[in-house]
């Protein structure tokens, strides 16, 4: 039986780093807002934001939310920096291991991603050349090693393509899938703004899609940001990732296609924004509206 549940994430409220102080919502306020909006799960946000160990377990159990997964980025393009980052991966897996028990297929998914590269971060959207062909094998081998480390701990990871990184464009994703066996966290907004077609990608990569982030994107805002010399962070602050239905994502087609390919697992709604750019009340209202839009489409 296909089981799909819908989560949201702290990034929708501008929570990116633990150093962002004060956060727009406390962890308890965050889980309460998402639970009240009808979500069934939450992404961890910065590791430690929702707590660790029993603190995490008690907080989520009290809200009725499951832990859908969490973001772990490593510098796969730099062997020494990658090795220095591995303890953070292990620490994240410790946090996931402490999460409340979940139904089969709905345990937390480590979301592997590459740290941003300066050139692409400054010019997001696929216009800047990526990783040189000669460097792809070593890059992919490190991604594979990280994935295997997750599996050794009992977790099946998914790699998140992302604006501003070496895995940004559809061509970058194809290369990664070719060189590894890692599953893909398909993010509709990042793919859209990198020149991809999320619906076509879901069909083409159906056998490798293990996690889904649904967000909308506005290429007009992207074009203006690039014209102004704004980077990826400023793009997010300007609303490049719009509320569902206000950008260019064909959300009904995405939902239909997820059903057609038999996707089962977590769908995480995200609306990346920056701290302080929008009021807490407007963020809460947007995420409640985003949840209703998926409910209207049968999710």
Please report the pLDDT score of residue 20 as a whole number: 66
Does residue 287 have a cis peptide bond before it, meaning omega lies within 30 degrees of 0?
no
Overall residue count recorded for the chain in this entry: 299
Domain membership of residue 281 as a residue range: 4-297
What Rg do the C-alpha atoms of the chain give, in angstroms?
A: 18
Please report the pLDDT score of residue 16 as a whole number: 85
248/231 Cα distance (integer angstroms): 21
Please report the pLDDT score of residue 1 as a whole number: 46
Q: What is the 3-state secondary structure (H, E, C) of 65-112?
A: CEEEEEEEEECCCCHHHHHHHHHHHHHHHHHHHCCCCCCCCCCCEEEE
26/257 Cα distance (integer angstroms): 36
Tens of pLDDT along the chain (299 residues) come to: 477 999 999 999 999 887 766 778 899 999 999 999 999 999 999 999 999 999 999 999 989 999 999 999 999 999 999 999 999 999 999 999 999 899 999 999 999 999 999 999 999 999 999 999 999 999 999 999 999 999 999 999 999 999 999 999 999 999 999 999 999 999 999 999 999 999 999 999 999 999 999 999 999 999 999 999 999 999 999 999 999 999 999 999 999 999 999 999 999 999 999 888 888 999 999 999 999 999 999 99
How far apart, in Å, do the first and last CA atoms of the chain sit? 15
- Domain with residue 250: its CATH number is 3.20.20.150
Tens-place pLDDT, residues 248-291: 999 999 999 999 999 999 999 999 998 888 889 999 999 999 99
Please report the pLDDT score of residue 276 as a whole number: 80
52/67 Cα distance (integer angstroms): 12
Residue 36 backbone dihedrals phi, psi, to 5 degrees? -65, -30
Half-sphere exposure in the Cβ direction for 169 (13 Å, CA)? 14
Q: Is 45 left (phi over 0), alpha (psi -120 to 50) or beta?
A: left
Please report the pLDDT score of residue 41 as a whole number: 97
Query: Encoding tokens for residue 243?
Result: 């509320």
Name the domain count of the chain. 1
Residue 91 backbone dihedrals phi, psi, to 5 degrees? -65, -40
């Amino acid at each position: 039986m296909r089981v799909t549940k819908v989560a949201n994430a702290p990034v929708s409220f501008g929570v990116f780093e633990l150093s962002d102080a004060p956060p727009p919502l406390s962890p308890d306020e965050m889980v309460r807002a998402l639970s009240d909006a009808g979500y069934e799960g939450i992404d961890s946000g910065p590791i430690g934001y929702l707590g660790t160990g029993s603190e995490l377990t008690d907080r989520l159990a009290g809200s009725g939310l499951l832990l859908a997964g969490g973001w772990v980025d490593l510098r796969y393009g730099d062997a020494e920096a990658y090795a220095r980052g591995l303890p953070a991966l292990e620490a994240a897996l410790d946090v996931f291991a402490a999460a409340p028990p979940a139904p089969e297929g709905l345990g937390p998914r480590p979301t592997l991603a590459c740290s941003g590269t300066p050139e692409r971060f400054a010019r997001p959207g696929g216009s800047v050349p990526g990783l040189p062909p000669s460097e792809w094998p070593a890059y992919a081998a490190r991604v594979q090693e990280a994935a295997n480390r997750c599996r050794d701990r009992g977790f099946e990871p998914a790699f998140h393509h992302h604006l501003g990184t070496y895995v940004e464009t559809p061509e970058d994703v194809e290369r990664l899938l070719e060189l590894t066996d890692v599953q893909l966290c398909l993010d509709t907004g990042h793919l859209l703004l990198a020149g991809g077609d999320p619906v076509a990608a879901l069909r083409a990569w159906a056998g490798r899609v293990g996690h889904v982030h649904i967000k909308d994107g506005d290429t007009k805002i992207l074009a203006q940001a690039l014209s102004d010399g704004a980077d990826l962070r400023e793009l997010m602050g300007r609303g490049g990732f719009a509320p569902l239905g206000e950008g260019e994502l064909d959300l009904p087609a995405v939902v239909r296609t997820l059903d057609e390919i038999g996707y089962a697992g977590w769908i995480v709604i995200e609306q990346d924004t920056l701290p302080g750019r929008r009021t807490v009340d407007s963020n809460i209202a947007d995420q409640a509206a985003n949840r209703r839009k998926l409910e209207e489409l049968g999710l």
